Chain A
Amino acid sequence: GNSVTQMEGPVTLSEEAFLTINCTYTATGYPSLFWYVQYPGEGLQLLLKATKADDKGSNKGFEATYRKETTSFHLEKGSVQVSDSAVYFCALRYNQGGKLIFGQGTELSVKP
């Protein structure tokens, strides 16, 4: 079946460090891929998305590229800030009902 696997957290970085959060997926067909972010005490917000192979999603300095050959959608940011501290969820969407399948989430903590 369809599934998403993320690297385990928590991830702790110093401000201005480089961030990578790994995400791999298993799916039939060609799903769309997403990264959502959840700040403390809030709901999820869409961070970026990619709808087909080799697409790059980007937003707020974050990037992720849809790699069909490695079934991956790793999240990267060149220089993290304290305000990036949150939980990040990778997700895939397949066509039936537009439903999302989420990874387990990766908590990021950025220290000044």
Chain B
Amino acid sequence: NAGVTQTPKFRVLKTGQSMTLLCAQDMNHEYMYWYRQDPGMGLRLIHYSVGEGTTAKGEVPDGYNVSRLKKQNFLLGLESAAPSQTSVYFCASSRFDRGLYDEQYFGPGTRLTVT
């Protein structure tokens, strides 16, 4: 049981390049989330998904797109990277059962630098 995994762990992009971050969970969780972590700002929600084929915007969605084609995977895309997107990105997943949200389980993070 690997929990939540993220690929890649580190990446350096040039301004204007694109990339996709992959999040995978093996806990059969319905909900998945993408956060970014910046110094002094805690974690902020980018997008989330309440189930396969669904996505919704979080607090800071601009410049990002997401897809959830399979229940276990949640992809975060940057179409045209900007230096302001330099951050550490965390994926999380949680169960939703009988009207109650379970705790969120976090991946180890992806450190992205945009030059």
Residue ranges of A at the interface with B (Cβ–Cβ < 8 Å): 4, 34, 36, 41-46, 49, 89, 93, 95, 97-105
Contacts and interface: CB of A to CB of B under 8 A. Distances in A.
Nearest to A4: B42
Q: B-side binding surface: helix, strand, loop or mixed?
A: strand
A41 B110 CA distance: 10
Interface residues of B, number: 24
A89 B90 CA distance: 14
B37 to A, nearest CB: 8
Interface of B: 4, 31, 33, 40-45, 48, 50, 56, 58, 90, 92, 94, 96, 101, 103-104, 106-109
Contact of A43 (B31, B40, B48, B90): B90
Contact of B94 (A42, A98, A102): A98
A110 to B, nearest CB: 21
Contacts of B107: 43
Contact of A98 (B43, B90, B96): B96
A42 B4 CA distance: 12
Contact of B104 (A100, A101, A104, A105): A100
Contacts of A43: 4, 90, 106-109
B50 A89 contact: no
A99 B50 CA distance: 11
Given A97-B48, A97-B50, A42 B108 contact: yes
